[in-house]
Structure 1
Amino acid sequence: MEKLDIGKYIESAIDSITQHAGPALDGIALVIEGIVDGLQNALLSAPSWLIMILMALIAYYVQAGGIKPALTKKGFKKGFGLAVFTVIGLFLLLWMDYWEETMQTLALVLASAFLALLIGIPLGIWAARNLKADQVIRPVLDFMQTMPAFVYLIPAILFFSVGNVPGVVATVVFSLPPAVRLTSLGIRGVPEEVVEAAQSFGSTKRQLLFKVQIPLAMPTILAGVNQVIMLALSMVVIASMVGAAGLGERVYSGILQAKVGLGFEAGLGIVILAIILDRVTQALGGLGKK
């Protein structure tokens, strides 16, 4: 029996896409590169102290539960702790001369998370409101979540060469499933009584979605935002293998050169950034309940 060579068919399909969809791929690359470069230029052109203050204020606001709760003693303490950690962590990265790499990593994570949510939330809404769509989307998400992350780099390189663009594309694909799943879960979790009450008052499907289902599902959707950002950050080191800049590039250099100190320093930077982003996005879920 002749061997079934699935890889041959996949390579043929990729070659066909590259030949016939070249202008579309170039357009996608330009859009992604514009988003990443815009974020990186904005973060790197601003003074480091200003970025520290802004990130500390954001951390304080979301952790304390908004301005009014922050005025209370409990809210003040909650927000103050994360704000102090944010300033100390970012100052440590500046002191270690990793500020540029940190901002590059932050730009990559924000760009990837933005694109993943831009695609994932509408897909999640569609899957929650359409059974046939859910039956198609769910196995695709299972495939995406079980496929090793390194595999995503191969088509990304073939389609977009090397640099930040293939790193962002691979990161978007890797971090997309939680956005879809948790958005769908949140909308499906809205009580039937609430939906029926809204329909009995004459709500259209659009009004039902935007005024009832999405607001009530917001904590679950924001949990998906947290997961997307964490998965995007976990792809930083892997994306550096295709030329993505940032802290992951330093970690990868440490691996190639067998320099433990270099890898540890850059890894510490990723940990600090991960803690800040995780605490902030977790706290956003609390604001979504209000």
Structure 2
Amino acid sequence: MTATLPPVGAVRVGGRGLDVEKEWAPRRRGVGWRRAAAAVLVVATVVAYVLFRTEGAADGQDAAAFRVFDGLRDWVDANRDTSPVFLYGFNYVRLGVRLLVDGVQAALTGLGFAGLVAAVAGVAAVLAGWRTGVLALGGLLTCAVLGLWDESVDTLVLTVSAVLLSVLVGVPLGVLAARVRWVGATLRPVLDVMQIMPTFAYLAPMTLLFLIGEPAAVIATMIYAVPATIRITALGISEVPPTVVEAASALGSTRWQLLGKVRLPMARTTIALAVNQTIMLALSMVVITALIDAPGLGGTIVNALERVNVGAAFDAGLAIVILAVVLDRITTNAARRTRDHRSRRSRLVGWAVAAVVAAVAASISVGPGEVPGHSFAPGVNDLIGWIELHWYDVTEGLKNGISAGVLDPLETVLVTTPWWLFVAAVAAFGTLVSGWRAALIAALAAAGLPALGLWQHSMQTLATVLVAIALTMAIGVATGVLCARHDRLATAVRPLLDAAQTMPSFVYLLPAVALFGASRFTAIVAAVIFAVPPVVRLVERGLRDVPPAVVEAATSAGSTPRQLLWKVQLPLARGGLLLAVNQGIVMVLAMVVVGGLVGAGALGYDVVAGFSQREDFGKGLAAGLAIVLLGVLLDRLTQGFHDREGPR
């Protein structure tokens, strides 16, 4: 008798049937009619497009939305010094933020170069251990070696100011969102929009309300970073075990005692993670605020972008990465340390020693200019020059091939599609794959694009985003799969991913411009480089989270590595893959707007022109809203598919 192996995916573990195919069988029962419905929709959409396609008329220069936003700008300019909204509102906010920035600036610069280095290293050693203290010491000295000490301190001042405001606002809101249901339900869509909104879109309204300079930069940074503070704090509070809360309530604890002595202490680690993520987001946004006259390393990168000086941008980007790593390690390691590691008395002794060392160091008259300097700019520029000289045919062929073969035809189809047909197609396909609720939101977002008077530019941006997302997912999924299968490769790639996620988005424009010139494809390349790291991480994490027992059972049943990947791991990692798609979309959208600085055109250029040219303010603000609508559209279609509950 010949033994028969069970089919791939149908295996038994520990005497219990574990049928991967069976787990997905309920979903597959509906695949047939969905494929038929999708085919009918495709045919109907193609026929409607052929019958009703337009010539792709240019967007209006005087749309109603533009006039409304320009009117708002004119009202603000006319009433800035007379309206109570500004006299007792925005102006006082600006003054308060200015005082905060000046206070942080005085605290950091008052110690002097040696004192600040010693103080940061000492605080890091006390809070996070001596290894972190050594890392902080080396990191700050490296910023001085690069010749960017003053710029690094200015960036640190803005970051610390924005993080302080984010924590003061975000932690209480996070607690309320976790404890009061209607507050959480109200904040959720607001936070979604804030996270989808590209960083550039914050700049125009901030300069309108608070003028250019440090206060506007800090407030824009806080608005960009505070959603992470609120969401993660709410998560930490909601995860406190109910049994602990009930026990404390039974002992007579009041609501405030429950909050101060139970919920917040038990959520301390998660709140520390919220602070950590807020710092990372604030650091990336502070760099972009150089466009509204904020000081710091961002100004160095903007100047390098104007001169196409990749080496200078590399030095500034490296300094930002160093600051990010130092702040990340301090907050992360401080959260891990508990009272078991060090008693309160020894911690106080450590603080005293750190204060004495900082005071002694502050009295030493050593300036950052006395530290031996070194710049990577010449070497980086030589490398870029060599690549430009020897790879010109390859880069031009790649740019022209993808532009002519993929980007241009897709853009033509989208631009010549009537807006009502596009909205109907989004609603129909969205209902099929994501459910009617997600489809309704996506369709409303699509309908908002022509209402803003930016239909053509929206479709051009959508074409660029779709091509960038396709390339991002192809590279990110392939790399994530390889990292999940090979631990050594994952270990080698991890520091590169860390640096890539910390590097500000501006930096990616420099090598892209140097290799491909100013074009739409340049923005696509920069967006892919910017968005690939989180996709790789999420895909790798999703595959590694597949239960090992399932993988071992499928392997013992005779599955080949290819069958194991396609029939077991990828189906079970579906949630992680869809989250990777969602994050890729958000990051590509953010980077496509930055690409407006290098010839990407469409909505990105409109946003950039909106805050740099007064006459284009209304159009720029409308373009920022259009990008948000595109983000909501793509987000709902992907996340709706993820959230839709299939039959069990």
TM-score of the pair, normalised by structure 2? 0.41
Q: Which residue identity is paired with 2:322? A: I
Partner of 1:49: 114
Q: 2:322 aligns with which of 250, 253, 272?
A: 272
Q: 2:86 aligns with which of 13, 17, 22?
A: 22
Higher helix share: 1
Q: Which residue identity is paired with 1:52? A: V
Cα offset, 1:185, TM superposition: 0.8
Please tell me whether the aligned partners of residues 226 and 282 of structure 1 are also in contact (alpha carbons under 8 angstroms).
Answer: yes
Cα offset, 1:26, TM superposition: 1.1
Cα offset, 1:13, TM superposition: 5.2
1:90 aligns with 2:154: no
Please tell me whether the aligned partners of residues 218 and 286 of structure 2 are also in contact (alpha carbons under 8 angstroms).
Answer: no
Q: 2:277 aligns with which of 214, 220, 227?
A: 227
Q: Which residue identity is paired with 1:29? A: R
**Distance in 2 of aligned mates of 1:192 and 1:123:** 21
Partner of 1:67: none
Cα offset, 1:179, TM superposition: 0.7
> Cα–Cα, structure 1 residues 157 and 213, in superposed 2: closer, same or farther, change >3 Å?
same
Please tell me whether the aligned partners of residues 276 and 331 of structure 2 are also in contact (alpha carbons under 8 angstroms).
Answer: yes
Please tell me whether the aligned partners of residues 40 and 107 of structure 1 are also in contact (alpha carbons under 8 angstroms).
Answer: yes
> Cα–Cα, structure 1 residues 136 and 16, in superposed 2: closer, same or farther, change >3 Å?
farther
Identity %: 38
Cα offset, 1:43, TM superposition: 1.6
Partner of 1:237: 287
Cα offset, 1:289, TM superposition: 8.2
Cα offset, 1:113, TM superposition: 0.3
1:187 aligns with 2:234: no
User: Counterparts of 1:60-209 in structure 2 under 5 Å?
Assistant: 60-64=125-129, 79-80=130-131, 82-209=132-259
Q: Deviations over 1:211-243 (max 9, x none)?
A: 111110111111000000000001122111101
Cα offset, 1:127, TM superposition: 0.8
Q: Deviations over 1:31-50 (max 9, x none)?
A: 11111122112222322111
Partner of 1:38: 103
Q: Deviations over 1:228-278 (max 9, x none)?
A: 000000112211110110111111111112222221111111111000001
The structure having more radius of gyration, on CA atoms, is: 2
Please tell me whether the aligned partners of residues 14 and 155 of structure 1 are also in contact (alpha carbons under 8 angstroms).
Answer: no
**Distance in 1 of aligned mates of 2:168 and 2:74:** 28
Partner of 1:215: 265
SS at match of 2:240: coil
**Distance in 2 of aligned mates of 1:241 and 1:138:** 30
Please tell me whether the aligned partners of residues 136 and 326 of structure 2 are also in contact (alpha carbons under 8 angstroms).
Answer: yes
> Cα–Cα, structure 1 residues 138 and 288, in superposed 2: closer, same or farther, change >3 Å?
farther
Say which is worse superposed, 89-98 or 29-38, in terms of deviation. 89-98
> Cα–Cα, structure 1 residues 146 and 85, in superposed 2: closer, same or farther, change >3 Å?
same
SS at match of 2:267: helix
**Distance in 2 of aligned mates of 1:117 and 1:280:** 17
Cα offset, 1:287, TM superposition: 3.1
SS at match of 1:84: helix
- How many residues align? The count is 273
Please tell me whether the aligned partners of residues 219 and 288 of structure 1 are also in contact (alpha carbons under 8 angstroms).
Answer: no
TM-score of the pair, normalised by structure 1? 0.88
Please tell me whether the aligned partners of residues 124 and 133 of structure 2 are also in contact (alpha carbons under 8 angstroms).
Answer: yes
**Distance in 2 of aligned mates of 1:111 and 1:197:** 39
Q: Deviations over 1:85-128 (max 9, x none)?
A: 22222112223331111111111000000001111011111111
SS at match of 1:235: helix
